[in-house]
Each structure stands twice: as C-alpha cells, then as structure tokens.
Structure 1
Amino acid sequence: MTNRPHALDALAAADAADLTAILLEICSSPRWATTVAAARPWPDREALLAANEAAMATLTTEDLRDAMAGHARIGTPMAGDATAEREQAGIRRADGALLDALHEANAAYEAKFGHAFLICATGRTAATMLAALRERHPNDAATETEITRGELRRINDIRINRLLDGS
C-alpha cells in the first residue's frame, strides 16, 4: 500500500463541489480545476503534481487569462490576501524607487500583452522580479504565453504542496 498523506486522501475523497472550490483556490481557471479533478484518485503527491502539469498544458489562451485573474499584480498584493502576501514577500523591503520601477515596467508589459505580468514570486526579491519582467518584455506573445503557462504551473505546484503539507 502506498504511503499517502492524510491531506491527499481527504482531497481525493472530497465531493465534487468541495473539490472544485479547493482547486479554484489553487488556480482560478475552471478548466484547470475540472481537468485536475478528473484525474483523481491520485495515488500520491507526484500524481497530483503531474495532473497539474497535464492540465496546464491543455489550457487555451482564455483559460490562461482565467488562471491569471486569480493572481495579484506583482508589487501590489491585495491587503488581506495572505497567499499573495506570502508569495510576494520579496517586495516587502523594496524601496520606493524600486517599487515605482516595478509599477512602470508592469504598466508597459500590460500595454504590450494585454494582461498583468505573472511570475512565480516565491523566493524572489523585488529586484529579481523587475529584472525578469524587463527580460521578458521583448518576447513575442506566443513565447510569453508559454512562459506564463510555466510560471502558473510552478505557482500551482507550490500551492498544491502547501495544501498537502497543511501549511
């Protein structure tokens, strides 16, 4: 018998509505949540993470926009959003000039791509996020879509692991 953490068992046993609500907290794309839910039961953590990866690979541009809608703009996590505040902890000690540069770069990115810049911010400083934003700004839309897809997958992996670890 596989050693399964209690949280994974509870998640796999959740009724459809509860499971959907939990999954939408991880990723706000309904298609992603439906696809991950359809992959249960997950025999272990790796299978759930693989379901995340497989679901991310199937998302259309519109589905990706749904997924991005669940994320705070880099540099401006919403007050009271513990997840965004935790994920963007690297901006807390940034000075005003760096935050201003981040906001300006965000605006330029949004004007070009039509959506907010998305990056897995966990463990990154404001300076490294700004550097990544500037590095990605010259990309074409197709390249940026695939980079964003990968960043969303990494964020989902972190959120799934936190859920399973009870943290």
Structure 2
Amino acid sequence: MAGHHRGRHAVAFADPHSHPAKGRGPMVGGASAAGRHRAPGQGPTLAEFNADAAVAAEILGACMDIALWVAQVSAGRPFADLASLRRAGSAAAAVITWEQVAGALDRHPRIGERRAAVAGTGTESAWSGAEQSGVEVTQAQALAAGNVAYEQRFGHLFLICAAGLSGEQILAALDLRLRNEPAVEKPIVIQELRKISALRLAKAVVS
C-alpha cells in the first residue's frame, strides 16, 4: 500500500492456500457447474481454467491481485499443462513494479488477524486462515505491535511468505527487516509477493 492505505493493514502471510481477487464474482459457466461437485477447497481443473475467462480471472486475482499480472497470465490460455501455467505466472511476476505491489498489499490481513480487512470471497477467507496457521494466539499481540512499528517506519504493511514459518520465525524476520532502509525493504516486499503468488498458483489449479 502506498501512503493512502497507510495504517489499515499489516502483515500478510502466504502459503499455498491464499485468496481471490477484489470484487470479482463467483465462477460462471461450465466451470461453475463443475465446481459444485468438487471437494471443499479444491480449485478448478486446468481445462476449466483454460475454458472460462471469469474463472481464470478469479483464480489469478486470488494468487496476486495485480490487474496487469492477471491479464498477462490469462492471455496465455489455453495452457498445455500446469507447468506452463506456472512458468507464465513467474514470468509475469518478474516484471511487477513497486506501485503495483503497493496496491496489492491492500488485500492482506494484519499479522495475527484471520481475515483481510477488505472482504474477499470464501476462498480468500479460507486461504487467509491457512496462511496464518503457524502463528499462535500468544504471539498475535507481539506480531501486531511489530506490524504497527513497521507501518510507521515504511508506510505500508509487512509482507512475508509465511508458508512453513512459525510465529517466532515471522517475528524474527520482522525484527530484522525493521532495520532496513526503505530502498532496501521495497525489493524484499516485491520478492515476497512473487513467492506468495507462485505458491498459490501451484495449488490453485488442479490437473
């Protein structure tokens, strides 16, 4: 978030279970019908993703809420296989800018919070909860306080790819990054968002 979002959010956690795009509606068309028969939390198949632009936009927006990234990856449909989709996601993510990332940060919850401040879809809410699974209740207060300090220093939320990290590890990373200069910290945030999107995309579409 740039300055106009300052103070609304803090740390984002990410893991293969994350969230959909701001303001996007439910899946439509054939993919929607297929989705009614999927196991809870299971994403669309590659065939469904390839066939339905609305499904692709929703899934991609959940992985990284940057409109240009979503458009660039979606434009590559149909993908021959999941590996091709993931390569396309990584290639598009490699050129995202700080301005784009600052806007995408608005999707994430404060550290220790289970829900994003801006309401998303059910998938997004489920992903947000899973992303924070390494944080214990007793650590939430310390993480929230650290996140406030981070926001005050940098003017945007603390983003970290938290897959597999404990609350203690996240706290340690937050402490270290608070010592960075803004010019050093921004590229780190961009890289963390790239890692988050790659993990989410790897789980978002099934074969």
Structure 2, unmatched stretches of 5+, are 1-43, 117-121
Structure 1, unmatched stretches of 5+, are 1-5
Match of 2:202 among 158, 161, 164: 161
User: Does residue 63 in structure 1 map to residue 100 in structure 2?
Assistant: yes
Q: Deviations over 1:79-106 (max 9, x none)?
A: 8721111011111x341xx322211110
Specify the alignment match of 1:3 in structure 2.
Answer: none
In structure 2, distance between residues paired with 1:141 and 1:49: 30
Q: TM-score, normalised by structure 2?
A: 0.68
Specify the alignment match of 1:75 in structure 2.
Answer: 112
In structure 2, distance between residues paired with 1:105 and 1:145: 18
Aligned length: 157
CA contact (8 A) 2:66 2:101 kept: yes
User: Does residue 127 in structure 1 map to residue 168 in structure 2?
Assistant: yes
Secondary structure of 1:77's counterpart equals: coil
Specify the alignment match of 1:38 in structure 2.
Answer: 75
Q: Deviations over 1:49-107 (max 9, x none)?
A: 2222222222222210222222212211218721111011111x341xx3222111101
Secondary structure of 2:45's counterpart equals: helix
CA contact (8 A) 2:131 2:162 kept: yes
Specify the alignment match of 1:7 in structure 2.
Answer: 45
Specify the alignment match of 1:26 in structure 2.
Answer: 63
Structure number having the greater helix percentage: 1
In structure 2, distance between residues paired with 1:160 and 1:42: 13
User: Does residue 84 in structure 1 map to residue 125 in structure 2?
Assistant: no
Match of 1:108 among 149, 172, 175: 149
In structure 2, distance between residues paired with 1:141 and 1:37: 33
Paired letter, 2:108? H
CA contact (8 A) 2:48 2:55 kept: no
Secondary structure of 1:58's counterpart equals: coil
Identity in percent: 37
Q: Deviations over 1:129-157 (max 9, x none)?
A: 11111111122223222211221122112
In structure 1, distance between residues paired with 2:181 and 2:112: 23
